[in-house]
Amino acid sequence: MSKPGGGFRLEFAGLKEGKHTFAYVLGAEFMELFPETEAFCEPEVRVGLELEKQERMMLLSFRFDGTAGTYCDRCLNPLRFKVEQEETIIVKTASASDTDAQDEENLWWVSEKDTFIDLASYFYETIALSRPLQVFCPEDENGKPTCDPAMLDLYEQPAAPQEAETDPRWDALKSLKNRI
């Protein structure tokens, strides 16, 4: 699954051996690549990248710093979570004979023809994985959650009891409505 990376590509062709630095800003433009996502919203994340190029290998040291938006798992209030991550990834160049070269967690492969790496999916995953499994509104000084009480009431209300007897004329109308 590769998405168009836009400004989130790492163009590495032509880089001299040694260290190079890059910076990316993950904001509104980044979100345009993932219009359907519910994993997070409104990211404000800076990514610093130090690249060390060697003969057939690159070391990518990423540093993520920022926040992204989500919703309280209890009341759907908008909240933000931190995106702070440091990760080093090794990029190796596969020759035509390396047919079993497969990406692993901290090892990516590029082919000799590749000139860039699309980082958008990697950035997306890093933000998505930074969201805690459960996010709740903070507690007040009494240890009570500051969730939206109206929303809590809505969730905690038992389902409306079914009316034992219904007017047969309403039932007829309802079934008519369902068929439309």
* Interaction between residue 75 and Zn ion (CB under 5 A): yes
Per CB under 5 A, which region of 14-22, 35-43, 69-77, 87-95 contacts Zn ion?
69-77
* Interaction between residue 72 and Zn ion (CB under 5 A): yes
Compare residues 116 and 155 and give the one whose CB is closer to Zn ion: 155
Distance separating alpha carbons of residues 84 and 66, to the nearest angstrom: 6
* Residues 6+ away with beta carbon under 8 Å from 62: 47, 48, 49, 85, 86, 87, 88, 89, 126
The answer to whether residues 49 and 22 touch, using CB atoms and an 8 Å cutoff, is yes
* Interaction between residue 77 and Zn ion (CB under 5 A): yes
Minimum CB separation of residue 106 from Zn ion in Å reads: 36
Site string for Zn ion, 104-143 (x = CB under 5 A): ---------------------------------x------
Beta bridge partners of 54: none
Per CB under 5 A, which region of 20-28, 36-44, 66-74, 117-125 contacts Zn ion?
66-74
* Interaction between residue 147 and Zn ion (CB under 5 A): yes
Distance separating alpha carbons of residues 82 and 109, to the nearest angstrom: 29
Which 4-63 residues touch Zn ion, going by CB under 5 A? none
User: What region, left, alpha or beta, does residue 37 occupy, with left being phi > 0 and alpha being psi -120 to 50 degrees?
Assistant: beta
Minimum CB separation of residue 93 from Zn ion in Å reads: 48
Handedness of CA 12, 14, 18, 24 (dihedral sign): negative
User: What region, left, alpha or beta, does residue 156 occupy, with left being phi > 0 and alpha being psi -120 to 50 degrees?
Assistant: alpha
Minimum CB separation of residue 83 from Zn ion in Å reads: 20
Binding residues for Zn ion, rule: CB under 5 A, are 72, 74-75, 77, 137, 147
